[in-house]
Amino acid sequence: MTAAPAAAATVVPAEGDAAPDFELSNQFGEPVRLSSFRGQNVVLVFYPFAFSGICTGELCELRDNLALFDTANATVLAVSVDSKFSLRAYAEQEGYGFDLLADFWPHGRVAATYGVFDAESGMARRGTFIIDAEGVIRYTVVNPRGQARNLAEYRAALASLERA
């Protein structure tokens, strides 16, 4: 069996760009297409790996604050390069009530499209994209390795969508 070619690194889409569409399987193997969320905001969260310390802390913080996203008419989609099987076990263990999407094969293709795939380590970097109801990126942040994201930044970005 031949390995798939490494995903080409791309530039992180900028605020004001149309969000690149994609379809990935969630933790239950169900297809989830970004464009199917038009009419509502989306918080697209790339994270390195299921079951890792910082990632678990970040996703638990999202889980514990889902009302913030509901109030802003926002759906959380969390993406890693793990398989749907790992993501299902992870979601069940942590009680996540949002979709965990498997960017497993071709390995990291969607993360690469969003400019957050680290081909050297084979994982997604910590990138967050808040996408408005029209499919336009309104907030982008890519955190350095080992640095968790700040929930207050999500809150401010979502509040700015409400004022727009």
Nearest residue to 79 (alpha-carbon basis) of 134, 32, 9, 145 = 32
- 55, 110, 111, 157: the active-site residue: 55
The pair of structure tokens assigned to 70 is 């509901």
Cβ neighbours of 92 (radius 10 Å): 10
Q: Hey, which bits of the chain come out as E strands?
A: 23-26, 31-33, 41-46, 74-80, 99-102, 117-118, 123-124, 126-131, 137-143
DSSP conformation class of 60: H
Identify whether 60 is a catalytic site residue: no
Tokens of 106: 């071709």
Structure tokens at 74: 């926002």
Which residues does the annotation mark as catalytic?
A: 55
